[in-house]
Amino acid sequence: MTKAKKSKQKSGLFLKKIVGKSLVCVLFFFFLRFFADQICKNIRKYEQIKTELENLQQDGRTQKVLYISSITLTSINSYPLQIIITRVNAQLRDEMLTRHLASNIRSQFPNVKDIVSSLEDLRTNAYTNLNSFLIQLSQTHTNTTKKDEKFRILQRNSCQLLWDMLINCLSAMRQYELEIYENVGRALCIDDGIKQSEQTGKEKEEKKKEVLKFTIGYYLQQNYQIFLQTNSSFESNTGPKLDLIVNQLKAKYMQKITFVDKLQQDQKGELNKLMDDYLTYACEISWTMLLHDTPMSFSPTEFEPKEMITFDDQKHRRSSGSDGHSQQIWYYAWPTVKRGNTLLNMLPYVVTGPVQQSYQKKGMIPKCSELMVLYVQVF
C-alpha cells in the first residue's frame, strides 16, 4: 500500500471521528435544551400553584374550589413539589362537598370586596350629598361664610351627626339580627338543650349564638334581602322592617337638628329624602356586614380620638375640612372596617386641625361648648 493511500485512509478515519463527535455534541446540546425547557416549565407551574394556593387562602368567602392535578416532573426537585400537591389535593377533596353546598347559597351574597366597594359608594354619594346639604343649611341659618372660624365647627357638627348615624345603623341591624336569633332559638328550644350543660351564663349565651348562627346562618345569607323587606313582628308597626328601622333612626336624628322647624317645605322634603337615602343604604350594608361568616364592624367607633393622634399617611386619609398645616387628628370623618379582629385594607378618613385648643386636660377631649352646638346638637 502506497503512502498516498495510507494518508487518505487516515484522513477518512479522522473525518469520521470529527463527524461522530460533532453529532454526539449536537445530540447532547439538544438533550440539555430539552431538559432545561422541562425544568423551566415545572418552575413556572410551581409558581402558578403557589399563587393559586395563596389566592385560595385569601378568599374571604371560601367559595372557590381549587383542584390541582398531579404533575410528573423530570427535575431532581420533583419530590417535594409532589408532596405539596398531594397534601393540597387531600385537603380540598375533604372540603369539596361542604364548599359545593355553600357555593349556591352564597352566590348572591356580597363578599368582603363587595361590601368595601358599597361603603365607598355610600361615602362618595349619599354621605357627601347629605353632609353638603346640612352644612349649606347651617350656613344659611347662622349667616356663616367659609372664611369664618365658625364654619369649621359647622363642618365638624355635620360630620359627627352622620358618623353617629352610621354607627347606630350597625347597632340597629345587630339588634334585629339578635331578635331573629331569639325567635328561632325559642322555637327550636335551644335554651333547654344548653341549660343541661355545665357552662356559665356568658358561655351559654355564646354557645347559643354559635348554634343559631350555624343553624340558620346560611339561610339568612341566602334570603338577606327578604328579611329587610319582611313586615315587623309588632302589630302596631306595619310595613317592611328596614323602613321601620330607618324611620326610627331618622326621627331620632331630626330632633338633633334644631333649625328643622325653620326650614321651608321644599328644604324639609330634600332633607328627608337625603336622610332616607343615607340611612337606608347604611342599614343595608350593615346587614350584610353582620351576616358574614366572620362578622364585620366599624373601627374606630368614637368620633373624636380619646388621646392625641398624629396623622400618618400610611394609616389615614385626609378629608375635606382638614388644616393642611396641622398633623394632629381632630376627628374621624369615615371609619375603616374590621373583619373579626382583623382590619381590612382600607384607611379611615380623618380631619386634622389644632385640636390642642379643644383639650381641657392633656389627652382628654371636653364636652362640646355652646359654640360647637350652634344649630346641630351633638351628643
- Domains of the chain, by residue range, sit at 19-105, 110-373
Least confident of 9-18, 26-35, 240-249, 291-300: 9-18
Mean pLDDT estimate for the chain: 76
Segment 195-216 mean pLDDT = 70
**Quick one: pLDDT at residue 98?**
52
Segment 312-339 mean pLDDT = 91
Residue 51 has pLDDT above 60, yes or no: yes
Residue 303 has pLDDT above 70, yes or no: yes
Dihedral angle sign, alpha carbons of residues 265, 267, 268, 274? positive
CA 240/CA 246 separation, integer angstroms: 10
Q: Give the global pTM.
A: 0.66
Ramachandran region, residue 191 (left: φ > 0; alpha: ψ -120 to 50; beta: rest) = alpha
CA 44/CA 52 separation, integer angstroms: 12
Q: Which of 339, 335, 359 is nearest to 347 (CA)?
A: 335
Least confident of 79-88, 132-141, 311-320: 79-88
Kindly indicate the confidence band of residue 239, based on its pLDDT and cuts at 50, 70 and 90. confident
**Quick one: pLDDT at residue 126?**
97
Segment 319-336 mean pLDDT = 91
Residue 364 has pLDDT above 70, yes or no: no
Q: Which of 98-112, 218-232, 328-342 has the highest mean pLDDT?
A: 328-342
Q: Which three cell numbers stand for residue 97?
A: 362537598
Residue 230 has pLDDT above 50, yes or no: yes
Q: Which residues contact 106 (CB under 8 A, 6 or more apart)?
A: 61, 63, 218, 221, 222
| 156 touches 331 (CB < 8 A) | yes
**For 74-122, what is each residue's pLDDT tens digit?**
444 455 555 555 665 556 555 554 554 454 444 689 999 999 999 999 9
Q: Which residues contact 169 (CB under 8 A, 6 or more apart)?
A: 249, 279, 282, 283, 286
At 149, which helix (H) or strand (E)? Answer: none
Q: Which residues contact 370 (CB under 8 A, 6 or more apart)?
A: none
Q: Which three cell numbers stand for residue 23?
A: 453529532
**For 59-72, what is each residue's pLDDT tens digit?**
443 333 333 444 44
| 97 touches 263 (CB < 8 A) | no
Q: Which of 179-183, 215-219, 235-239, 334-338 has the highest mean pLDDT?
A: 334-338
Cα radius of gyration rounded to whole Å, the chain: 34
**Quick one: pLDDT at residue 207?**
75
Residue 255 has pLDDT above 70, yes or no: yes
Kindly indicate the confidence band of residue 317, based on its pLDDT and cuts at 50, 70 and 90. very high
